[in-house]
């Protein structure tokens, strides 16, 4: 039950009885501000035209009618045009019992809708980096939230495993690798292939420098540098399915996939379906031909195919090159069609950085012009860049922040800070390792996901592991603290199972926690509607903050009244449950002890 809607219903009935029916948009309910007495507030000002009374008189009349009409309300007070309503203790007892007794609390009923979320989309010429971390965390969390809302969710990854950038790594390994392998070097496969991508760039720049020294323009030097010409020849051989080139491509991509799999596993990320560009890049060519026949596209004198979007405020977009080869847009048209046909999707969400905003704007418009109504159900979840403070945890190349390096550094940082604060004193070495990994990765995930995806963010590793701020470790430690309380109760033989006594009196801090618990289903629903993990992050932080204040001010196990003690232990149990569920939607584990 949504409490605000419940109050709105009571208010609507009283207003209709007093003044006649009014629109729901005029009945505005909000939580009562902390400095005033009450639980929920009705804003009276929109009703004054109907009541034809002063704000105070209107609020008093509605309050008196509501309290007399509903046993759920125990009283009210009026502050100018605001009617502050207080809910009865029994109401809160019943509400809390409903939450505790509902095993699926917060989970939406099955919708019958199928949604695909595509994220990660790495290139197989280098390891995953910091940008991929934000992408993966966003995609995985959004998929989890949509699933919690009752949708059938398909988590998809499109691996960019072909093209000139892949051939650069292959060529550099062939020329300079001396047969080096992940086994012989001790390097992860994706790191090894990335090493040769950098090696290619080094030789390429050297050749450009030599050519420009001979008087050739830089632009011409870039095009005729021998190493680049050789890479382009390798791409032609790949497209012609040259056996030797294909064998090298498969071997090196295999190294990368093993490396990616380990990174995904360490990050706690998974996929239901993996697509490969080498298998999808030709998709869309037939659709482009059909578009030509319909007059949606046009062919230029050189044979290339374009669409003119200038009338829509955009530009002209290439669909097929003059030699008939496809471009990214062609592929995306084909894969979108394939996915909607294959899975009968209700929605397709692309988690891609904001530098591709224009690409997806064009993609949707082209699909619309081709007559595909499902183009309205494509959504680009655009996110900003994530940066680190200068000088912190740079990768081996000194240009990008390697995902594996960052995760290892986060775990090490978590171990050091946890030891400094005495959080691991009661842990075995094995438990300390597990907690350090959980806290380090939890800090990384929470710090990134608590920020609105659209914003560019600065990630400060040490700040993210603060046990006292708006951080993952603060919430994780709160969960561990609650589990410790419950273990002590179990060890003391305290039985806190069974239903809450409806006559128990809640203190205001307990009512605030029950309100927060009650909000969970609405937060999950709104986060699903807006693709916003940051809403979940804010929710679990607020709940943890409320609990810590409550824990500090009120006895739990030491409470002498048995009925109150049982209620407080059950309250602890439900807070831990919601913290674990909410953090789970962010892909974050919570420890049992710290």
Within 13 Å and on the Cβ side, how many CA atoms surround 83?
32
Tell me the mean pLDDT in the region 430-437: 90
CA dihedral 205, 211, 214, 216 (to 10 degrees): -110
Gap between the Cα atoms of 572 and 576, Å rounded: 6
Write down the mean pLDDT value for the chain.
93
C-alpha 544: how far from its chain's center?
Answer: 20
Gap between the Cα atoms of 161 and 280, Å rounded: 10
Question: Which of the residue ranges 72-86, 183-197, 404-418 would you say has the lowest mean pLDDT?
Answer: 404-418
Band of residue 431 on the pLDDT scale cut at 50, 70, 90: confident
Kindly tell me if the per-residue pLDDT of 242 is higher than 60.
yes
Kindly tell me if the per-residue pLDDT of 142 is higher than 50.
yes
Which strand (E) or helix (H) includes residue 349? Answer: strand 347-353
Gap between the Cα atoms of 237 and 254, Å rounded: 19
3-state secondary structure of 496: coil
By CB atoms closer than 10 A (0-12, 13-18, 19+), residue 99 is: buried
According to the model, what pLDDT value does residue 593 have?
Answer: 87
Cα dist. 466→84, 444, 448, 463, 480 in Å? 38, 11, 14, 5, 16
Band of residue 335 on the pLDDT scale cut at 50, 70, 90: very high
According to the model, what pLDDT value does residue 395 have?
Answer: 38
The CA radius of gyration of the chain, in Å to the nearest whole number, is 30
According to the model, what pLDDT value does residue 393 have?
Answer: 38
Parallel, antiparallel, or unpaired: how do β-strands 273-276 and 386-387 relate?
Answer: unpaired
574 or 502, greater pLDDT: 574
Closest listed residue to residue 117, CA positions, set 94, 91, 149, 83: 149
Query: What is the percent of the chain where pLDDT is above 90?
Result: 85
Closest listed residue to residue 337, CA positions, set 293, 388, 280: 280
Tell me the mean pLDDT in the region 103-130: 95
Site of tokens 């050519």 = 211
Ramachandran class of 301: left when φ > 0, alpha when ψ lies in -120 to 50, beta otherwise: alpha
Kindly tell me if the per-residue pLDDT of 433 is higher than 80.
yes
Band of residue 368 on the pLDDT scale cut at 50, 70, 90: very high
What's the length of the chain?
594
Which strand (E) or helix (H) includes residue 339? Answer: helix 328-343
454-470 confidence digits (pLDDT tens): 898 888 777 888 888 89
* Sheet with 273-276, side-by-side order of all strands: 273-276, 152-159, 114-118, 347-353, 378-383
Band of residue 392 on the pLDDT scale cut at 50, 70, 90: very low
Please write down the HEC assignment for all residues of 449-483: HCCCCCCCEECCHHHHCCCCCCCHHHHHHHHHHHH
Band of residue 390 on the pLDDT scale cut at 50, 70, 90: low
- Pair 431, 593: CB distance under 8 Å: yes
C-alpha 133: how far from its chain's center?
Answer: 11
| Cα angle, residue 585 at apex, residues 140 and 449 outer, rounded to 5° | 65
Which strand (E) or helix (H) includes residue 582? Answer: helix 562-585
- Pair 533, 583: CB distance under 8 Å: no
- Pair 578, 517: CB distance under 8 Å: yes
Band of residue 424 on the pLDDT scale cut at 50, 70, 90: confident
- Pair 341, 367: CB distance under 8 Å: no
3-state secondary structure of 278: helix
Q: Domains in the chain, start-ordered, CATH in brackets? A: 3-87 (3.30.1360.70), 114-273+337-387 (3.40.50.620), 403-585 (1.10.730.10)
Question: Which of the residue ranges 91-100, 307-316, 345-354, 412-421 would you say has the lowest mean pLDDT?
Answer: 412-421
CB atoms within 10 A of CB 417: 19
3-state secondary structure of 41: strand
Cα dist. 6→30, 294, 525, 529, 539 in Å? 12, 54, 18, 22, 21
According to the model, what pLDDT value does residue 399 have?
Answer: 56
Band of residue 389 on the pLDDT scale cut at 50, 70, 90: confident
Band of residue 326 on the pLDDT scale cut at 50, 70, 90: confident
Tell me the mean pLDDT in the region 36-50: 95
Please write down the HEC assignment for all residues of 243-285: HHHHHHHHHHHHHHHHHHHHHHHHHCCCCCEEEEHHHHCCCCH
The single-letter DSSP state of residue 352 is: E
| Cα angle, residue 36 at apex, residues 32 and 39 outer, rounded to 5° | 35
3-state secondary structure of 42: strand
495-552 confidence digits (pLDDT tens): 998 888 878 899 999 999 999 999 999 999 999 999 999 999 999 999 999 999 999 9
Cα dist. 166→159, 162, 169, 252 in Å? 12, 6, 6, 9
Phi first, then psi: give them for residue 507, nearest 5 degrees.
-80, 165
By CB atoms closer than 10 A (0-12, 13-18, 19+), residue 559 is: middle
- Pair 468, 548: CB distance under 8 Å: no
Strongest mean pLDDT among 137-151, 281-295, 422-436, 492-506: 137-151
Kindly tell me if the per-residue pLDDT of 407 is higher than 50.
yes
50-83 confidence digits (pLDDT tens): 999 999 999 999 999 999 999 999 999 999 999 9
3-state secondary structure of 78: strand
According to the model, what pLDDT value does residue 259 have?
Answer: 96
According to the model, what pLDDT value does residue 396 have?
Answer: 36
């Amino acid at each position: 039950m949504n409490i605000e809607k419940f109050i709105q219903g009571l208010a609507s009935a009283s207003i209709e009885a007093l003044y006649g029916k009014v629109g729901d948009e005029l009945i505005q309910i909000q939580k009562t501000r902390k400095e005033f007495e009450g639980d929920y507030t009705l804003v009276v000002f929109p009703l004054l035209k109907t009541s034809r009374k002063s704000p105070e008189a209107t609020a008093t009349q509605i309050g008196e009618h509501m309290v007399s009409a509903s046993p759920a309300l125990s009283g009210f007070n009026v502050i100018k045009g605001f009617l502050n309503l207080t809910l009865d203790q029994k109401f809160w007892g019943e509400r809390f019992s409903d939450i505790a007794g509902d095993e699926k609390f917060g989970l939406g009923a099955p919708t019958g809708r199928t949604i695909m979320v595509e994220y990660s989309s790495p290139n197989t010429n280098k390891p995953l980096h910091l940008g991929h971390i934000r992408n993966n965390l966003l995609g995985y969390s959004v998929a989890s939230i949509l699933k919690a809302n009752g949708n059938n969710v398909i988590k998809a990854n499109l691996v960019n495993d072909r093209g000139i950038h892949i051939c650069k790594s292959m060529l550099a390994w062939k020329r300079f690798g001396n047969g080096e392998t992940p086994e012989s070097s001790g390097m992860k496969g994706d790191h090894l292939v990335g090493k040769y991508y950098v090696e290619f760039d080094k030789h390429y720049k050297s050749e450009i420098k030599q050519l420009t020294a001979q008087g050739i323009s830089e632009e011409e030097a870039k095009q005729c540098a021998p190493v680049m010409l050789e890479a382009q020849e390798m791409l032609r051989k790949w497209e012609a399915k040259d056996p030797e080139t294909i064998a090298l491509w498969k071997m090196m991509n295999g190294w990368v996939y093993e490396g990616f799999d380990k990174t995904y596993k360490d990050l706690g990320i998974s996929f239901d379906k993996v697509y490969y560009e080498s298998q999808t890049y030709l998709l869309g060519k037939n659709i482009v031909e059909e578009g030509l026949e319909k007059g949606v596209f046009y062919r230029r004198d050189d044979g290339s195919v374009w669409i003119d979007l200038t009338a829509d405020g955009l530009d002209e977009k290439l669909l097929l090159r003059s030699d008939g080869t496809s471009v990214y847009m062609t592929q995306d048209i084909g894969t979108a069609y394939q996915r909607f046909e294959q899975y009968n999707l209700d929605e397709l969400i692309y988690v891609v950085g904001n530098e591709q905003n224009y690409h997806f704007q064009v993609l949707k418009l082209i699909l619309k012009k081709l007559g595909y109504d499902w183009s309205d159900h494509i959504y680009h979840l655009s996110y900003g860049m994530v940066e680190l403070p200068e000088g912190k945890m740079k990768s081996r190349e000194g240009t990008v922040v390697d995902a594996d390096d960052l995760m290892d550094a986060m775990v090490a940082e978590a171990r050091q800070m946890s030891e400094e604060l005495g959080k691991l004193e009661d842990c075995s070495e094995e438990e300390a390792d597990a907690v350090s990994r959980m806290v380090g990765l939890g800090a990384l995930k929470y710090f990134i996901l608590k920020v609105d995806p659209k914003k560019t963010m600065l990630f400060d590793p040490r700040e993210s592991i603060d046990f006292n701020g708006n951080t993952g470790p603060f919430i994780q430690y709160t969960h561990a603290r609650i589990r410790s309380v419950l273990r002590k109760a179990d060890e003391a033989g305290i039985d806190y199972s069974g239903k809450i006594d409806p006559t128990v009196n809640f203190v205001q801090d307990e009512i605030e926690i029950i309100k927060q618990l009650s909000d969970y289903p609405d937060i999950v629903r709104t986060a699903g509607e807006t693709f916003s993990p940051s809403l979940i992050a804010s929710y679990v932080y607020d709940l943890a903050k409320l609990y810590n204040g409550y824990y500090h001010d009120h006895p739990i196990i030491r409470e002498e009244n048995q009925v109150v003690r049982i209620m407080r232990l059950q309250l602890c149990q439900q807070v831990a449950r919601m913290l674990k569920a909410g953090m789970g939607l962010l892909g974050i584990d919570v420890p049992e002890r710290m």
